[in-house]
Every structure is written in C-alpha cells, then in structure tokens.
Amino acid sequence: MTFNITNLYKTIEIYSPYILIAFTIIIFILIIVQIRTASKLKILSNKYKKLLNGTNNKSLEQLIFDTLSLSNDIALENKEISKKIKNIQRDMQSCIQKVGVIRYNAFENVGSDLSFSIALLDNNDNGVVISGIYSRESSTTYAKKIVNGQSKHALSAEELQAISESKKIV
C-alpha cells in the first residue's frame, strides 16, 4: 500500500463533516473544562485571600513559620508559668491559712469578754496561738508555738478551742 495524496484528500472530503463535528465536540469539551477550572481557581483564590487576610503580604510559608515560632514561645511561657504556680503552691503551704479567734471573760469580776485567744496556723497546722488575758489591774499576752496542731507548752481550754476553730475554717 502506497501513500497517495489524492487518496488522502478524498478521504478527508468524505469524512470532513465527521471531523468537523469531532473538532466541535472537542472544542466544546475544552471550553467546559476551562470554565470549570477557572471557577475552581476563583474559589481557591478567594480562600487563599481569606487565609492571608491581614498578613501584610507575607507568604504562606512565612505565616506558618511565624505561627510555629509563636506556638513554641507560648509553650515555653506556659512551662515557666506552671513552674511559678508550683512554687507559689509550695510556698502557700507555710503561709497562715487558718485563723481561729475566741473571746472570753478570764475573770468573773471583769465583764465584756475582753480576753482572747487567736490561733494562726498554716496548712500543716504549724503556727502560733496568742492569748491576751485582761484584768482590771493589768493585761498580759502569751504566745505559744504550734507544731502539727500541738504545743510543747500547756494550752488552756480557750487556746485549744481557738486551734480547733481555726481547723474548721478550711
């Protein structure tokens, strides 16, 4: 079979309406694909603009790096804050947290409950109990160290009541 140009022209002449229809269909399909691609590109472009809104024309890569850096800084700051909170909680264990006050009349001939006992304790029931005894002629104040809710000194009923009252507050 030899190639003949006249045969080619005759073949094209016979099939030209079909070729024209095929080209028209292909062009129509390409136009539809182009329209869909342009539409999707517009949607993607709008999303990209929203993503970069207010970023002073930074690239997406730079935004990601900035966000990671900020995230790392926040994580370090959170660790420092957590450490400080633990130190504060530890220190608070030895701060006065429990207070109990009892007023009483130490002597029958003196009125108005002018004597008092006050217990000032930390979270571990360590601290002090202070008592002030008022009489018509004088006033005396005593302080007794408290360790684990106990004292090596004898405690009066009012001092024990002040300690008991301070433990109820928590």
Average pLDDT over every residue of 63-82: 93
Residue 1: per-residue pLDDT: 54
Q: What pLDDT is stored for residue 94 in this prediction?
A: 87
| Start-to-end C-alpha separation, the chain | 109
pLDDT in tens, 80-103: 999 999 999 998 888 999 999 999
From residue 68, give the alpha-carbon distance in Å to each of 6, 47, 64, 144.
Answer: 71, 21, 6, 57
Report the distance separating Cα 61 and Cα 144, nearest Å: 68
**Do residues 151 and 144 lie in contact, with contact meaning Cβ atoms separated by under 8 Å?**
yes
User: CA triplet 77, 79, 85: central angle to 5 degrees?
Assistant: 105
Judge if pTM exceeds 0.75.
no
Question: Can you tell me the distance from the alpha carbon of 22 to that of 18, in angstroms, rounded to the nearest whole number?
Answer: 6
Confidence band for 170, pLDDT divided at 50, 70 and 90:
low
Q: What is the pLDDT of residues 2-49, one digit of tens each?
A: 667 888 788 888 888 888 999 999 999 999 999 999 999 999 988 888
DSSP state of 93: T
- pLDDT given at position 82: 97
In angstroms, rounded to a whole number, what is the distance separating the alpha carbons of residues 143 and 153? 10
104-151 pLDDT per residue, tens: 988 877 668 889 999 999 999 999 999 999 888 889 999 999 999 899
- Which residues have C-beta within 8 Å of that of residue 163, sequence separation ≥ 6? 100, 119, 121, 125, 129, 146, 149, 155
